[in-house]
Amino acid sequence: MRFISLFVAALISVASALPALHAQSGGSPIITYDSRFHPVLARKGMVVSQDFYASEAGLEVLKLGGNAIDAAVATGFALAVTHPQAGNLGGGGFMMVYLKSEDRVIAIDYREMAPAGASRDMFLDDAGNVDNRRARFSLKASGTPGTVMGLTQALSKYGSLPLATVMGPAIRLADEGFPMSWALQASLSRYQQRLGGDPVTKAQFFKEDGTPYQQGELFRQPELAATLKAIAANGADGFYRGWVADRIVETMQKDGGLITHDDLQNYVVKEREPLRGTYRNFEVVTMPPPSSGGVHVIQMLNVLEGWDMKSLGHNSANYIHRLTESMKYAYADRSKYLGDPDYFDVPVAAITDKAYAANIRGRINLERATPSTEIAPAPKLPYESNDTTHFSTMDAAGNMVANTYTLNFTYGNGRVVAGAGFLLNNEMDDFSAKPGTPNAFGLLGGEANAIEPGKRPLSSMTPTFLFKDGKPYMAAGGPGGSTIITSVFQTILNAMEFDMSVATATARPRIHHQWFPDRLILEPGHSVDTRLRLAEMGHSVSGLASFNEGERVLGATMSIILRPDGLISGMADYRRPGAHAAAY
């Protein structure tokens, strides 16, 4: 009680001092957007990731003279060791690379591919219902991993240091071990039951007696170290051929998995044309399909651009209403039109068309929420002329990387490859196993995202760059399943519309709506008044009945902004524990 009154007294004294400070500063407001949240600032380079050791691994490589791509690859391999919830060798992802010297952006797609033995109805039971256990926790849930090919190819084409050098920190962390972080020990304890179900996985992540490591205890992964060394010595062949490939196929064959040697050898990384949109004086350069994230971020920004968002006030009820309604239309279109562009003709240009956005804007009632049941994917488009992880890097030359990769669920399907020490993904659940039946993230889909051999499941991962007046400005991205798209959207919108620092743009409370379920999720930090006003407007606001229900965070963005004064500013989102911006 005494502490509380002291705290209140302190607040009052600060508040009463404000007018004087205001006068001293020549009339400009003292409390700016930036005054409560501070980014890490640096001159030479920065790595922002979900894990301390991984960010430091990237920094180590920057200090050796590596560029942003070298640092990203080092971070990617290190996360596979220190953040096994989502850092991976057995998953896939997307990497956006900006090469300053060529002023060029490359979008690298290293998403998993459905094995040749996959088929459209493979997750349906005899009654024709989706068997979620098979789609999420069996070896059939694993697509052919893309991460090792993605990281090694990015390095050889755009990096500057040898693979063995860049992988050095990851190998050391696996071989010699590292003191167990609080974040990882808490996560492993939480998932103990699921991970303990498979003896190989249990042996990888728990002590010999089956108990979790405590914070600070040395955690070694010798089998993973051997796999990393094979990759360092032989490049991607060290994973897709040779003994590691043998171990993957053995694991598959033991328990009904589909991945074969042919699938591994046929895995390909695709460099795709980045998707470009504009928002006022910014250019948004982002990941094209099979990510749905970029398409819908641009679509939603196009809708908002026709309104004066700034004057509504950040996160006011009217502001949130416009964001929410735009989200509903975007996720409705996602369910019908988005899939692997190599298998389905995704109408990207139509969905990201400014005139189409104006049409959506015209349908939005500014006073009332439109129920999701009254919103459908556009019947005809205009004619066309828990764990993932993101990291961003930037170097002194102005190169930058935004990389999001994943095993899908936290720890993927929970199955470690025997003898090779890494977890497998359950990305096959990102396909639409049956039209109209939502996947684990509640997302709906159909024909565009049906399972086919060799196809890549639709993703929400949204690594994104902003360019301001033609100059590189921001690298952003984050995890969160279906909420990735909306959390990246709001982080970059904050930076563009309100000129917030990277710290404030990251920290501000977020919202999420994905069309179905028809529910508006508000993070903690929105006022009760705002919640009530939104409910009055007809939104079904999560957390209104019970505040606990609303105590849910949306994403965890790891972003960097290159400020006009030349300083690199970064923010590791505090929404999930353990995140770290390493800089020098």
End-to-end CA distance of the chain: 43
Tokens for 310?
């700034």
Judged by CB under 6 A, the stretch of 179-187, 268-276, 394-402, 479-487 that binds ligand DON is: 479-487
Rounded Cα gap, residues 489 and 470, in angstroms: 20
Indicate the residue among 206 and 441 with the shorter CB distance to ligand DON: 441
Buried b (16+ CB within 10 A) or exposed e, 156-184: eebbbbebebbbbbbbbbbbebbebbebb
Q: Identify the sign of the CA torsion 391, 492, 568, 163.
A: positive
Say if CB 560 and CB 98 are below 8 A apart: no
Say if CB 237 and CB 227 are below 8 A apart: no
Could you tell me how many helices (H) and strands (E) the chain has, helices first? 22, 19
The distance of closest approach from Cβ of residue 430 to ligand DON in the complex, given in angstroms and rounded to an integer, is 5
Indicate the residue among 259 and 562 with the shorter CB distance to ligand DON: 259
Say if CB 294 and CB 464 are below 8 A apart: yes
Q: Sketch the per residue contact string, 490 through 529, with ligand DON: x for CB under 6 A, - otherwise.
A: ----------------------------------------
The distance of closest approach from Cβ of residue 167 to ligand DON in the complex, given in angstroms and rounded to an integer, is 25
Sole binder of ligand DON in the list 152, 286, 324, 388 (CB under 6 A): 388
Q: Is residue 92 helix, strand or coil?
A: strand
Indicate the residue among 325 and 429 with the shorter CB distance to ligand DON: 429
Q: Sketch the per residue contact string, 414 through 453, with ligand DON: x for CB under 6 A, - otherwise.
A: -------------x--x-----------------------
Say if CB 66 and CB 159 are below 8 A apart: yes
Taking alpha carbons only, the member of 366, 363, 389, 385 closest to residue 376 is: 363
Taking alpha carbons only, the member of 231, 230, 211 closest to residue 219 is: 211
Rounded Cα gap, residues 285 and 58, in angstroms: 24
* Helical segments of 33-146, H only: 52-63, 68-82, 132-137
| DSSP symbols for 246-301 | HHHHHHHHHTT----HHHHHT---EEEPPEEEEETTEEEEE--TTBSHHHHHHHHH
The distance of closest approach from Cβ of residue 101 to ligand DON in the complex, given in angstroms and rounded to an integer, is 31
Sole binder of ligand DON in the list 227, 302, 408, 486 (CB under 6 A): 408
Indicate the residue among 282 and 515 with the shorter CB distance to ligand DON: 515
The distance of closest approach from Cβ of residue 481 to ligand DON in the complex, given in angstroms and rounded to an integer, is 4
The distance of closest approach from Cβ of residue 290 to ligand DON in the complex, given in angstroms and rounded to an integer, is 9
Judged by CB under 6 A, the stretch of 163-171, 254-262, 361-369, 384-392 that binds ligand DON is: 384-392
Indicate the residue among 274 and 293 with the shorter CB distance to ligand DON: 293
Based on the shown chain and the rule CB under 6 A, indicate whether residue 386 belongs to the binding site for ligand DON.
yes
Q: Sketch the per residue contact string, 296 through 335, with ligand DON: x for CB under 6 A, - otherwise.
A: ----------------------------------------
# residues contacting ligand DON (CB under 6 A): 14
Indicate the residue among 479 and 578 with the shorter CB distance to ligand DON: 479
- Of 82, 147, 388, 464, the active-site residue reads 388
Based on the shown chain and the rule CB under 6 A, indicate whether residue 476 belongs to the binding site for ligand DON.
no
Q: Sketch the per residue contact string, 452 through 471, with ligand DON: x for CB under 6 A, - otherwise.
A: -------xxx----------
Rounded Cα gap, residues 555 and 484, in angstroms: 6
The DSSP H or E segment spanning 452 is none
Based on the shown chain and the rule CB under 6 A, indicate whether residue 142 belongs to the binding site for ligand DON.
no
Based on the shown chain and the rule CB under 6 A, indicate whether residue 479 belongs to the binding site for ligand DON.
yes
Tokens for 195?
């991970």
Q: Identify the sign of the CA torsion 521, 326, 479, 440.
A: positive
Rounded Cα gap, residues 149 and 239, in angstroms: 9
Sole binder of ligand DON in the list 299, 406, 491, 506 (CB under 6 A): 406
Place of tokens 């039109």: 337
The distance of closest approach from Cβ of residue 505 to ligand DON in the complex, given in angstroms and rounded to an integer, is 20
Indicate the residue among 348 and 461 with the shorter CB distance to ligand DON: 461
Judged by CB under 6 A, the stretch of 43-51, 178-186, 231-239, 382-390 that binds ligand DON is: 382-390
The question of whether 147 is a catalytic residue gets the answer no
The distance of closest approach from Cβ of residue 292 to ligand DON in the complex, given in angstroms and rounded to an integer, is 8
Q: How many CB atoms lie within 10 A of CB 516?
A: 17
Partners of 475 in the β-ladder:
465, 560
Indicate the residue among 40 and 86 with the shorter CB distance to ligand DON: 86
The distance of closest approach from Cβ of residue 323 to ligand DON in the complex, given in angstroms and rounded to an integer, is 20
Q: Identify the sign of the CA torsion 286, 141, 134, 415.
A: negative
Indicate the residue among 318 and 386 with the shorter CB distance to ligand DON: 386
Name residues contacting ligand DON, limited to 202-231 (CB under 6 A).
none
Sole binder of ligand DON in the list 61, 484, 493, 537 (CB under 6 A): 484
Sole binder of ligand DON in the list 481, 543, 570, 578 (CB under 6 A): 481
Say if CB 561 and CB 504 are below 8 A apart: no
Based on the shown chain and the rule CB under 6 A, indicate whether residue 480 belongs to the binding site for ligand DON.
yes
What residues have CB less than 8 Å from 328, skipping those under 6 apart? 370, 372, 375, 513, 515
Indicate the residue among 346 and 484 with the shorter CB distance to ligand DON: 484
DSSP strands (E only) in 65-189 = 92-99, 104-110, 178-179
Q: Name the site residues for ligand DON (rule: CB under 6 A).
A: 386-388, 406, 408, 427, 430, 459-461, 479-481, 484
Active site amino acids: 388
